Amino acid sequence: MYSRSLRVVSLLAALLFAAPAFADDAPVKEAEAYVKANLVSWLGDKVVVTALKEQNAKHASLTQADIDRLDKEWRGQVDKAEKPLIDSLMKNALSAFLTQKKAETKGIVTEVFVMDDKGLNVGQSDITSDYWQGDEAKWQKTFLLGPDSIFFDKVEKDESTQALQMQVSVSIKDPETGKVIGAVTFGLNVDALSS
């Protein structure tokens, strides 16, 4: 009797913990289809590739201490009136390109940012809370895993808009060599994807 009760409890626990995985399948499939059909083509654009190659060369000798200092500087500027480091990225050609591309999605893409070979922002449509993404899965599970890597973060409710959001990250490769030169993260409005 005890053994049967234990099996029932185990089965119920397994079903309970498995349910969220099934619930997340639909948004992931929709997000993957949308990213592959509509967004991946952005990554081979000359403005993306050129910006990545230039920043990778410029940052080739950065140490982890340099990266930490830059990230701290960025975080300190987020809520300030003067934002020299943030403005230098927000006003570059890549950020203008990403902002335009985001607008063309009519609310499906909520944000987009490109990261270099160290995980530092190169350009973005919106100000991010930090400059260095290299310590996060969005960079580690794309750039470090090679060409054609894609990472889906969990679906979360945006408290300000009440919309379901998901981040999808993709490695970016040099179209000439096939070598990974960076990564990109797209914030997606899951509700808009399924409507």
Distance of alpha carbon 31 from the chain centroid: 13
Amino acid at 187: G
Cβ proximity of 50 and 114 under 8 Å: no
Reported in sequence order, the residue ranges of the chain that DSSP labels E, i.e. its strands, are: 109-115, 121-124, 150-152, 156-157, 164-173, 180-189
Q: Which residues of 51-88 are buried (b: 16+ CB within 10 A; e: fewer)?
A: bbeebbeebeeeeeeebeebbeebeebeeeeebeebee
The tens-digit pLDDT sequence of the chain (195 residues) is 444 443 433 333 333 333 333 345 778 889 999 999 999 999 999 999 999 999 999 999 999 999 999 999 999 999 999 999 999 999 999 999 999 999 999 999 999 999 999 999 999 999 999 999 999 999 999 999 999 999 999 988 877 667 789 999 999 999 999 999 999 999 999 989 877
Give the global pTM.
0.85
Q: Please, what are the domains in the chain? A: 26-193 (3.30.450.20)
